[in-house]
Amino acid sequence: MTAEGTIAVLDVGGTHVRHALWSPRDGLGEVTDSPSPSLLNHPGTPVERLKARLLTVICEAVPPGTAAAGVSFGAALDQRTGTVYGSAPLFGAETTPLDLPGALRERRPDVRWHVVNDVTAALLHLASAPRRRHLRKVLLMTVSSGIACRTVDLRTGTIATDACGLQGEAGHLPSGTELCGSPVELTCDCGVVGHVSAYASGPALRRMADVLRERAGDRWQASELGRRLAGAEAFDQALSGALDAGDALAAELLDAATAPVADVLRTALCLDPELDELAITGGVATGLGRHYEDSLRRHFARQDLYLTGELAPGWLTGRITVCAPGEANGLVGAGIAALGGPPAGGPPPDGAAYGPPVRVRPHTAPGPADGARRHYAVVRDATGMHLSPRPTPRPGPGELLVAPGVAGVCGTDLQMLRGLRNDGAPVLGHEGVARIVAAGPGVDDPRLVPGAQVVVNPTHPTDPSFLLGHNTTDGLLQERALIPATAVRDGLVLPLPEVPPGVLGALIEPLAVVRYAALALAEHRPRTLLVFGDGTVGHLAVRTARRWYGPDVRTVHVHHTGEGLAWSERARHAADVRLRFADLSAGRLADVLGDEPLGVLVATPAAATLPCLDLALDAVDGKDAVVDLVSGLAPPATSTRLPGVDLAGLRAANRAGRPLPPRVGRLGTVNGHKVRVLGHRGVAGEHLLEAAAELCRSPERYRDLVTHVVDLAGAVPVLARLAESGDRIVSGRRLVKLAVRLGEPS
């Protein structure tokens, strides 16, 4: 990268000075990093000498011929003029104002200098990310050799300041913390005892470690942190390694250091609930990554916002982000600031320099037609489940915005939560009923209008990019959901002539799966229906058998667990024969199956599909039988009973109701007999409508299958519990179907 047409960018901190060339087109060039001429690095050096050295370092970092330079400066400075008031890491307690832009202009008049606070610069880069364009306000806190905050209002593109051009000098707020149950009194680099930075900054964290070593000598020596430091390991590396090893003493130290930071963030949200994201960056926070975020979450778990923590759990923690390396880059932010040009009043006078009023390009998000600009969603990420605010989009051409009224959680969702499937949608939920809120231009179906109650088919027959609540299309566990044009255009949004009562809409999609299977199996007129799986689909298959196969069909239901079997024994609508998989052999199952022809429905979690299929094939071998694989398949999707058969391919041959009739394989078993096997993924629109009609006709037949009902906030702890456990026990009761009842956006 050459200097011509580019901007020289610098990030000046108490520990390092970094500089490079940057342009919006080519990005950041090679970064040079050198120690900062600061009081932190050179204790005892007169401040005036440090300032002179620093000016020299900055000016020499700008190559000849470079027209503009952006400087991210780690100091409390007047955002309107660039005047530096003070920086404890750079200059200690010295607060004599420094006209930094003027001093730089005097030394290098050939350069247009743009000076911003380092947190402002990092925030400019952070806020430029497209995924944040619909947020209202973003707060960025840096935790490094110093601590400070900045807040930007993305609706107006401004960073507000006080009468001195300052904002967010949180490192110098009064604070305190404890170690070993007793208060700690440490002095901030500015010379005052009891500031946030005295306990939470990088240098303070080392001083806190010294206090802990003095107060808990025996525990210190026995700890992983103590052993690593005794072995001359660098402090940052030792602390990170000890936290990785689960060292309780290291966690205690970190919790004591983050307590003042948690207090600042909690207070910020208490006073300004429009803060949609509170991001933390800087060497300490980014270096410790998940450990730093986990520590903050522990504080918020102990002390959340009054009432909000009870009424909307996760509302606070859902806003916290510990930035990844490079996500809030002060060098890039300095370049963005330099691109902003001169203040609104025109260019600076000859011989002057300026620190421009920071303006961020506005990213005002138009609200949807019903006026709700934000809504809540149950969002999953690497740290777990959170109730988080989300920007509410306006539907584009061919799109629909819907408000889910009830959403169901199914076994596939649980597999995703437990890491057994790698589907990436942050918001799950593909079952339920929704109301159309707004229709984008080009939605011509006269039935798809605001107010219409609809069910959304989650599986597109030909476009794999649409898989509701699975891949890139967020699901229904949110107050608003955007349905893309491909689903609307191809008839996957279906108006409901009648909506099932209460929360029974959560059963429409699984009952549609059962309807699809029944249509396929009924062609073979089974006299006995063998059902594997005691989840929602298994129970629905048993309850609809005499309706959809004939009044004389006999049902045999195989359960996963004793708890599931006990639940069925108490149910009003149970199978004729109820068994537990662990108690079965092929011979015993064959003895209870009864008359041919036989229909077999395998509706189990993916990991159980092949064992159930193998048992079924052994039990029906040589009999007139047809097997339907409703379940997913864990690799390798092959069975020794069906040599050379690609079961995954066989199942994928029927997708979303196509083709009609479904493809059925007549396969040879290892014993030389023939068995018919089919599978399917998804359902057709008519299956969904038939399922909804069935629930409206006979709601009492199915009502008890919805065993647990929660609101959106209540779904978070339940889903977290299910993700961490391998069972289906919630609140002491067997879970069959969880229904989430949603309301209007808060």
Q: Which of 338-352, 482-496, 577-591, 697-711 has the lowest mean pLDDT?
A: 338-352
Share of the chain above pLDDT 90, in %: 69
**Residue 377 pLDDT more than 90?**
yes
Q: For the sheet containing 137-143, what is the strand order? A: 147-153, 137-143, 275-281, 320-322
Tell me how far apart the alpha carbons of residues 576 and 555 are, in angstroms, rounded to a whole number. 5
| Banded pLDDT at 156 (limits 50, 70, 90) | confident
- Of the candidate ranges 519-528, 551-560, 683-692, 721-730, the one whose mean pLDDT is the lowest: 721-730
pLDDT of 349 reads 33
* Pairwise CA distance, residues 586 & 336, whole Å: 70
For residue range 583-606, what is the model confidence (pLDDT) as tens digits?
Answer: 999 999 999 998 899 999 999 998
Please give the pLDDT value at position 669.
Answer: 93
Residue 744: per-residue pLDDT? 58
Q: What is the pLDDT of residue 730?
A: 87
Q: Which residues contact 116 (CB under 8 A, 6 or more apart)?
A: 70, 71, 72, 73, 77, 79, 82, 124, 333, 334, 337, 355, 358
Please compute the mean of the pLDDT values over residues 103-129 and round it to a whole number.
92
Q: Name the more confident of 342 and 89.
A: 89
- Note the pLDDT of residue 326: 85
Summary mean pLDDT of the chain: 89
Local structure of residue 593 (DSSP, 8 states): H
pLDDT band at 370 (very low <50, low <70, confident <90, very high): very low
Tell me the pLDDT tens digit for each residue of 11-24.
998 888 999 999 88
**What's the whole-number mean pLDDT along residues 650-668?**
92
Q: Which domains does the chain have, with CATH numbers?
A: 7-127+328-339 (3.30.420.40), 140-322 (3.30.420.40), 380-496+701-741 (3.90.180.10), 517-687 (3.40.50.720)
pLDDT digit string, tens, across residues 552-561? 999 999 999 9
- Is the pLDDT at 151 greater than 70, yes or no? yes
pLDDT for 89 equals: 80
Predicted confidence at residue 97, as pLDDT, reads 87
Q: Can you tell me the mean pLDDT for 535-563? A: 96
Alpha-carbon span 558 to 512, nearest angstrom: 21
**Burial group, residue 169, by CB count within 10 angstroms (0-12, 13-18, 19+):** buried
Query: What tokens were used for 660?
Result: 């009609």
Q: What is the model's pLDDT at position 354? A: 31
Does 219 have pLDDT greater than 90? yes
With a cut of 60, say whether residue 372 has pLDDT above it: no
Residue carrying the six token digits 């159309």: 436
- Average pLDDT on 461-465 reads 92
**Per-residue pLDDT at 130 exceeds 80:** no
| pLDDT, position 647 | 94
Question: Cis link prior to 393 (omega < 30° from 0)?
Answer: no
Over range 372-378, report the average pLDDT.
Answer: 81
pLDDT of residue 404: 95
Q: Is the peptide bond before 659 cis (omega within 30 degrees of 0)?
A: yes
Q: What percent of the chain has pLDDT over 70?
A: 94
Strand ordering across the sheet containing 674-679: 577-580, 554-559, 528-532, 598-602, 625-629, 674-679, 665-668
Higher pLDDT, 415 or 546: 546
pLDDT given for residue 101 in this prediction: 92
Cα 48 to Cα 52: distance, rounded to the nearest angstrom: 6
CA nearest neighbour of 62 among 107, 25, 129, 24: 107
Tokens of 563: 């708890």
pLDDT at position 743, please?
65
Token pair for 81:
């003029």
- What per-residue confidence (pLDDT) applies to 727? 87
- The answer to whether residues 79 and 117 touch, using CB atoms and an 8 Å cutoff, is yes
Closest CA to 458 of 601, 210, 655: 655
Nearest in space to 630 (alpha carbons), one of 524, 739, 509: 509
